Chains A and B, each alone.
Chain A
Amino acid sequence: MTTSRSSDIALERKGVNTTRRNFLKNMSLVGGGLVVGLPVTGCANVLLPNAHESVLQPNALLQITSDNVVNFYLPRSEMGQGIYTGLTTIVGEELDLDPQQINVINAGLHEDYKNTEFKLQVTGGSNSIRTHFLPLRHLAANARLVIRQAAAQQLNLNLADIQTDNGKIMIKGKALDYGEFADYANTLPFPEDAPLKDKHEFKYIGKDNRRLDGVAKATGTAQFGIDVDFEGLCGAALKRCPIMGGTVKSFNDSDAKGMPGVKSIVKIHNGVAVVADHYYQAKNALPKLKIQWNLPKTLSKFSSDSTAADNGKGLFKTALDSDNATNVFEKGDGLTALKHAHTVISAEYWAPYLAHATMEPMNCTAKLADNRLELWVGCQSPELAKNLAAYYAHVPAENIIIHSTFLGGGFGRRSESDFVAEAAAIARASNLPIKLCWSREDDLQNDSYRPASMARFTVSLNKAGLIDSWTVKRAGPQLMPYAIDNVVDGIMPSILPNSLVDWMSKAGYRLYNSLLVDHTSVEGLYEDYDAPHKSSDHVTADPGLPVGAWRSVGHSYSGFFKESMMDEIAALQNQDSVDFRLKHLKNNPKLANVLKVAAEKAAWNKGLPKGHYQGVAVHASFSSFVAQIAQVSVVNNQLFVHRVVCAIDCGLAINPGIVKAQMESGIIDGLSAALYGEITLQDGVVQQSNYHDYPALRIHKSPEIDVVIIDSDEAPTGVGEPGLPPIAAAVANAIFAATGTRLRSLPLKLEG
């Protein structure tokens, strides 16, 4: 940031109100100047890591200091999806300042950073851009206006004469930094209604800007949670029960104690932790621990062996066959329609448990002193993390400070706070400042997995070959009961004794599961296509393996199920897959449009190289619409995905480069799942342990990807997740085109 004091302009200035200034100095962020937030809900009693020590703690999103540094306190977590750049671009646009000039700071935790949709400070649901688009524009436009007003008053000019250009106040051809007027602006009433720019005036939104975190990430200087370090910080590793949910019955640490660097060995709620000078020493000592476990009852009995009748897929199949289902959606009268149907087509699909396998293993640094807990962590949900840490460290929630870092991948995994709870518990038990780091094995075997799911469709067609009724039933675990466990632990402890909280969280699971259906269980199974009669049911089948949000949540399997089913119907009717879909998208014009655009771009079924075949899939999720066409070849039962064409309608694309990258990311992540991803259990123990048996797509298997972004004037919608749901079906449908074999289970396995 350069500061250019333009002293050559001899203009008389009014002084700054010093009383107000002193007051602000007491409450404001380091650096002072103009400090503005959104919405200002008052001063919550939460410590901000970036604030001066004082009674009053300000919220701030945007700060323009008198030495002309523009700080944007990023209220969401950057995990690759690009909001570090995206939200800053929105701010820069209305502030009239190149986003590259804005200093972005990963903000801590504050009431005013709550996600307006989740009512918690959470990054997820692909909603960061969508929910911030207007509020941040208003904030920045108002900030620009108040700077102009300050300049007008201080320089005795008309407001209309004060224009701006890239962070400068322009007066008679001279340029003055915004910062020159920041202190004065802070004494003025903050405007509420500055007009917003028109789309055609945008300088940064919709343009191809470089990512703002690009330099830090290309030089190894971006700080992730795992990189946090300070004098005296110890490394911690935790041995957990091989079956999730187990607890320590007894342990013997005499062999581990003598291992190099070991400082402390402590038992916590879910295992035994070794604290050492360095993490690798703690990790090396873990195998020396001898632990007897109390095994969880249900999960210990579960194996994924799909040949056994009463377990594995059998559990899901039995649930599907049962009459216990809860109806989630009903339109028309499907049963009667079925009776009169001309043709009825039925099929069942399967998607396994999946791990997130973020590149950066889970980790959290915790320092407990004087009843105050400081946490350094990259997480999607700092608010839950704080509450959970309070519970496990026995510290009042208001005495917790969270320092946010970059996240080495999220995909939903870091919306859980189990690793934060562990770090807090270890810091408390060992009385040492610790950084808990998970190994890859810990990560793959202690996840909140994408729930395994089985679905059965029964679809009837009328004489004209159009869909008359669409019925689908899904069996699998639900997310919400597991989330309740954590939420109850996290939110209740300040008022209730721990034993009661534990009881409530377990009762919450039972209560929830028997009464309610979490919409993510069935989302995406029935919405997209036209049908006079529709119905969707859910039935819980849950062996007890913890589940959580996995990139695109329910859509991650429903996209595969629904789009495979649609392809089956088209094929059985001898209809073209694109045409057949279009006939059923009359009420879904945006999805129809992306399909047409993708088909055109991919030259659907026209002039493919010999041996190449195409498959198509479309899916709407997170308010966005995506079509994908995969081009594959199958030689000697070896599948190769050569090319994927993707069209997305996500409203106005703030950073088209990032939208494109997120489509590529969703496709590649989705291909890892479609081709390899499968978590299996043997007597409750997760069988996969590292990237050799839980592979991720590598560069040589990565297809050529063409992305088309639909030009739109509408408000922006999600991009972090919607690119994933269609890809598995697009590939499976292409395999059908190539081989005539319909693969109804993920991962896609060609028999050979």
Chain B
Amino acid sequence: MISFELNGKTTEVTVAPDTALLWVVRDHLKLKGSKFGCGMGLCGACSMLIDGESTRTCVLPMAAIQGRKVTTIEGIGTPDMLSTLQSAWVEASVAQCGYCQSGQLVSATALLRKNSNPSDNEIDEAMSGNICRCGTYPNIKKAIKQAAKDLGEDSGQLQMVAYFDPNSIQQEA
């Protein structure tokens, strides 16, 4: 049995220790916000915060997360309680197909946690692990800068969800 903290809640699973975290979260724990894009740590669609760092979870075995803190997109904000970054994202209409966006938001959240006022180069560096095939990069930059500004004016929060209740999710089709 492997025990870790998922979106503020202690979670225990019994799976083969080499199972990738992504599949445990998506298929066993039924949180579908984190996506499968490449399975090789190349695209960032599966990014989650592990102890605050944006991490590729398609290649991260469960054995490596025993006792660690995992935050998925669901643990950052919800449609009714958007984080400041998510609000900026919605305001800038960043998403196109949307598939890479959870991963982008996770990486951007990790960036703003460490750096409240990132430069263009710092944004590039922090976000270059996340591919967007739709090419939303210009709007991603815009939204990150807006969020940094909003956070700087002390009018926001990077993470809205302290404890996430998996039963609360509703998917929009």
Partners in one complex: yes
User: Could you say which residues of chain B place their CB within 8 Å of the CB of A245?
Assistant: none
CB within 8 A of A664: which of B16, B95, B135, B171?
Answer: B135
Residues of A within 8 A of B139 (CB): 661, 664
How far, in Å, is A329 (CB) from chain B's closest CB? 33
**A210–B31 alpha-carbon span in the complex (Å):** 26
Instruction: Give the docked Cα–Cα distance between A440 and B43 (Å).
Output: 10
Instruction: Report whether B138 and A705 are in contact in the complex, using a CB–CB cutoff of 8 Å.
Output: yes
User: How many residue pairs between the two chains, A and B, have CB atoms under 8 Å in the bound complex?
Assistant: 201
A63 at the interface (CB under 8 A from B): no
Q: Does A270 contact B (CB under 8 A)?
A: no
With a cutoff of 8 Å between Cβ atoms, the chain A residues found around residue B37 in the complex are 359-361, 440
Q: Which residues does chain A contribute within 8 Å of B95, judged by CB atoms?
A: 80, 211, 213-214, 217-218
Is B172 within 8 A of A221, CB to CB?
yes
Q: Identify which of A218, A280, A672 gathers the most chain B CB atoms within 10 Å of its CB.
A: A218
Q: How large is the interface on A (under 10, 10 to 19, 20 to 34, 35 or more residues)?
A: 35 or more
> Which residues on A sit within 8 Å (CB–CB) of B132?
359, 699
B135 engages A214 (CB within 8 Å) = no
Determine whether the beta carbon of A220 is less than 8 Å from that of B72: yes
Interface residues on B, range: 35 or more
Q: A359-B99, A409-B97, A661-B96 are in contact. Are A699 and B43 (CB under 8 A)?
A: no
**Contacts A260-B16, A691-B42, A692-B40 known; A220 to B97 CB distance under 8 Å?**
no
Q: Are the CB atoms of A216 and B97 closer together than 8 Å?
A: no
Give the residues in chain A near B39, CB-CB below 8 Å: 439-440, 690
Q: Let me know if B40 and A699 touch, CB within 8 A.
A: no
State which of A88-96, A400-408, A514-522 sits at the interface with chain B: A400-408
B171: contacting residue among A79, A223, A658, CB under 8 A:
A223
Chain A CB count within 10 A is highest, among B28, B141, B172, for B172
Is the beta-carbon distance between B101 and A699 smaller than 8 angstroms?
no
- Whether A664 and B138, one on each chain, are in contact in the complex, defined by CB atoms closer than 8 angstroms, is yes
Asked whether A634 is an interface residue with its Cβ less than 8 Å from the other chain, the reply is no
Does B137 count as interface, using CB distance less than 8 angstroms?
A: yes
> Judging by beta carbons under 8 Å apart, are B171 and A440 in contact?
no
The reply to whether B93 and A661 contact each other, CB–CB distance below 8 Å, is yes
Name A185-228 residues within 8 Å CB distance of B. 210-211, 213-224, 226-227
Asked whether B82 is an interface residue with its Cβ less than 8 Å from the other chain, the reply is yes
Q: Mark A527-538, 1 if CB is under 8 A from B, else 0.
A: 000000000000
Q: Please report the C-alpha to C-alpha distance between residue A211 and residue B90 in the assembled complex, in whole angstroms.
A: 7
- The digit string for B47-87, where 1 denotes a CB below 8 A from any CB of A, is 00000000000000000000000001110011100100010
- Tell me which residues across on chain A come within 8 A of B28, comparing CB atoms: 278
Task: State in angstroms the CA–CA spacing of A79 and B130 once bound together.
Answer: 19
User: Which of A669, A698, A699 neighbours the largest number of chain B CB atoms within 10 Å of its CB?
Assistant: A699
8 contacts between A and B (CB under 8 A): A81-B96, A211-B95, A218-B77, A280-B27, A359-B134, A409-B133, A702-B137, A704-B138
- Which B residues form the contact surface with A (CB < 8 A)? 16, 19-20, 23, 27-28, 30-40, 42-43, 45, 72-74, 77-79, 82, 86, 89-91, 93-102, 105, 123-125, 127-128, 130-141, 169-173
Beyond A280-B19, A700-B124, 12 extra complex contacts between A and B, CB < 8 Å = A214-B95, A217-B101, A218-B82, A220-B33, A221-B79, A359-B35, A359-B45, A360-B97, A658-B93, A669-B133, A702-B135, A702-B137
